[in-house]
A and B are shown apart, each in its own frame.
Chain A
Amino acid sequence: AQSVTQLGSHVSVSEGALVLLRCNYSSSVPPYLFWYVQYPNQGLQLLLKYTSAATLVKGINGFEAEFKKSETSFHLTKPSAHMSDAAEYFCAVSPNTGGFKTIFGAGTRLFVKA
């Protein structure tokens, strides 16, 4: 069974600092991986996704994530945090063979301090 674990339910950074949100997945074969962002009182929207084309994936708003098969990780980074990045971030995994259910991680709340 596939699963995804987000390390840290809350992450706090200063404006301008590096953002690092951690995600590890469990899958017998490389799956599809996603990062979604949820701003307060809104639905989720896609930041980026990994579909085996390239291990370093660039997304919207300056975010990127690197797929590391050896570490079964898909951590999300942004070089310089902005106040508007404060939100809930979800890592998600979707199998690439059979079954179409996307599994979401528990989410990481990002706080950005002025």
Chain B
Amino acid sequence: DTAVSQTPKYLVTQMGNDKSIKCEQNLGHDTMYWYKQDSKKFLKIMFSYNNKELIINETVPNRFSPKSPDKAHLNLHINSLELGDSAVYFCASSQDEVPGNEQFFGPGTRLTVL
């Protein structure tokens, strides 16, 4: 049973398109995250939700819009895709927002913008 799953695993699209990445966790966790990992493997947090409420919103272009329909799902919609959006996007979850809790990561979605 996959704990944190993401779809799709690979996404190739043209500049200017709009795309979505879906994330689901079956761990019963309260907090979910989106991270962006660039080509140099640098991992940067984008958003965090706790019980469907946005708690972290880093300096991310407003073309990126997260949506949490329930606490088990956190989707990421990206408008007007740009070349610089090419990266691997990871979804993660943790028990709650208490510091020190382990984060569980999904397998990643490799986004390539042409």
A: which residues have CB within 8 A of B?
31-32, 34, 36, 38, 41-46, 49, 51, 88, 90, 94-97, 100-102, 104, 106-107, 109
Contact = CB atoms under 8 A, between A and B. Distances in A.
Interface string B22-62: 00000000010000000011111100100000011000000
A43 B108 contact: yes
Nearest to B43: A104
Contact of A102 (B45, B55, B106, B108): B45
Given A32-B99, A43-B107, A96-B99, A101 B40 contact: no
B41 A88 contact: yes
Given A51-B100, A100-B99, A102-B103, A43 B90 contact: yes
Interface of B: 4, 31, 40-45, 48, 55-56, 90, 92, 97-100, 102-108
Contact of A101 (B48, B98, B102, B107): B48
5 contacts: A31-B99, A46-B102, A100-B56, A100-B98, A107-B43
A-B CB proximity, top 3 nearest:
A43-B105, A32-B100, A104-B43
Contacts of B56: 100-101
Contacts of B90: 43-44
A90 B97 contact: no
Contact of B99 (A42, A44, A95): A95
Contact of A106 (B40, B55, B106): B40
Nearest to A97: B99
